[in-house]
A and B are shown apart, each in its own frame.
Chain A
Amino acid sequence: MKTDDLVVMLATGAGIAPKHVAARRYTIALGWGMPISFALMLTTIGLLSDIKGALVLPGFWIKFGFVVSLAAVSLLATLRLSRPGADRKSLPVMLSLPVVILWGLAVVTLVQTDSELRIPLLMGQTWAECPGLIAMLSLPIFVATLWAIRGLAPTNLRLAGGSAGLFAGAAGASIYTLHCPEMDAPFIAVWYLSGILIPAIVGLVLGSRLLRW
């Protein structure tokens, strides 16, 4: 087939191009991913027993604010990375901002704490289970986000996969906050971030295989 014939074929009956595809796919992905992850949290590990008490603590809102803002910027990054040629220059600064702020808070907290109490503050009561559970809760969101990207056209597959994983990790962590009893910035800065980075690294490694088009 000659290229000119192909061009005619493509243009014939092309009609109006589909609109708002990205918005629609991401809405569907979040509409499935978030509730499934929430249900997974309820059925496997359950809500924090004193959830009402937790909701009035500033520590809870610092934690929640961190994961939600990281989820927001990584969602924005993922949206950009699922389109060809979208501007990526601002992404590194955008993505690192919530982390840098949280680390700043963690350092201030540690400096103000007596030296023998620093390690307990950092390790909390649940350091061993926290990253794995965040990764587990991120899984439904991760799968849904990858599905959303597959209907679009990422041109840097590793970055798109990594960014999708980062978003899923942060969104999964926002659901994990409803189970987690830890309220100190140093704990969040280390163990939450580790959990969030698990799907991000998986996405980075598998991106070129999962997102090819």
Chain B
Amino acid sequence: MQRTITQMRLNKTESLLRERLVSGLEGDEKAYLIFLKDLSTHLRAFFRKRLTQLPDEVEDLVQETLLAIHNQRHTYDAGQPLTSWIHAIAKYKFVDFLRRRAGREALNDPLDDTSELFAASDSEAADARRDVLKMLDLLPERQRLPIQHVKIEGLSIVEAADITGMSESAIKVGIHRGLKALAAIIGGLK
């Protein structure tokens, strides 16, 4: 009985999230915003459970995964359960994070790292340590300006094209490539 109730609640979460994502993919930005917000709470719980030793890394990983999900939103097939799609991406980013970390750890002697003792604390966990906004500066202008104007200042594509003197399609391409480049920088691929 208890299991059925939990199952029903999960199904409801799944169908609500899925509805909003599908509307979001069709261009409903409000629905998409709610989808991403809800999703971030689920991702936070998912990673927190798996990173009890590294609470400070949770928020970075949440943000990295959100960015990945946004960049890859075209790979969601509306006929597919949303849970399996999100779970596959979250798990992929989690494993990738552990591998990157293992690579870093190998470079310095873990016993010498006294900062580890105090690194873990709950109040810090709400903030990401890495600032995505600052990483924008690493992008070339043709990607940074479109993101700055459209994604941060909230201008339309047409307005951003006017201000920058770029074409509308260059603005769209700049946003798309810029967000992918951002994900690559975060993932240590660049």
Contacts and interface: CB of A to CB of B under 8 A. Distances in A.
Interface in B51-78: 59, 62-63, 66-68, 70, 72-75, 77
A14 B66 CA distance: 14
Contacts, number: 120
B151 interface: yes
A175 B131 CA distance: 51
B91 A155 contact: yes
Contacts of B189: 212-213
A85 interface: yes
A11 interface: yes
A153 B25 CA distance: 17
B124 interface: no
Contacts of A21: 74-75
B74 A84 contact: no
B89 interface: yes
A115 interface: no
Contact of B89 (A18, A22, A155): A155
Contacts of A86: 77, 80
A81 to B, nearest CB: 11
B139 interface: no
A10 B70 contact: yes
Contacts of A10: 36, 66-67, 70, 151, 179
Contact of B59 (A3, A8, A18, A82): A3
B75 A153 contact: yes
A84 B33 contact: no
B87 interface: yes
B136 to A, nearest CB: 10
Given A7-B36, A13-B175, A86-B80, A1 B89 contact: no
B72 A152 contact: yes
Contact of A2 (B29, B88, B127): B127
Contacts of B87: 85
Interface string B106-121: 0000000000000000
A13 B131 contact: no
A6 interface: yes
A16 interface: yes
A152 B89 CA distance: 12
Interface in A1-34: 1-19, 21-22
Contacts of B27: 14-16
Contact of B77 (A15, A18, A83, A155): A83
Interface in B18-63: 24-27, 29, 32-33, 36-37, 40, 44, 59, 62-63
29 contacts: A1-B128, A2-B128, A3-B40, A3-B63, A3-B66, A6-B63, A6-B66, A7-B37, A9-B152, A10-B36, A10-B66, A10-B70, A11-B32, A12-B29, A13-B29, A16-B26, A16-B27, A17-B25, A21-B74, A82-B75, A83-B80, A84-B84, A85-B85, A152-B72, A153-B68, A155-B91, A212-B189, A213-B183, A213-B189
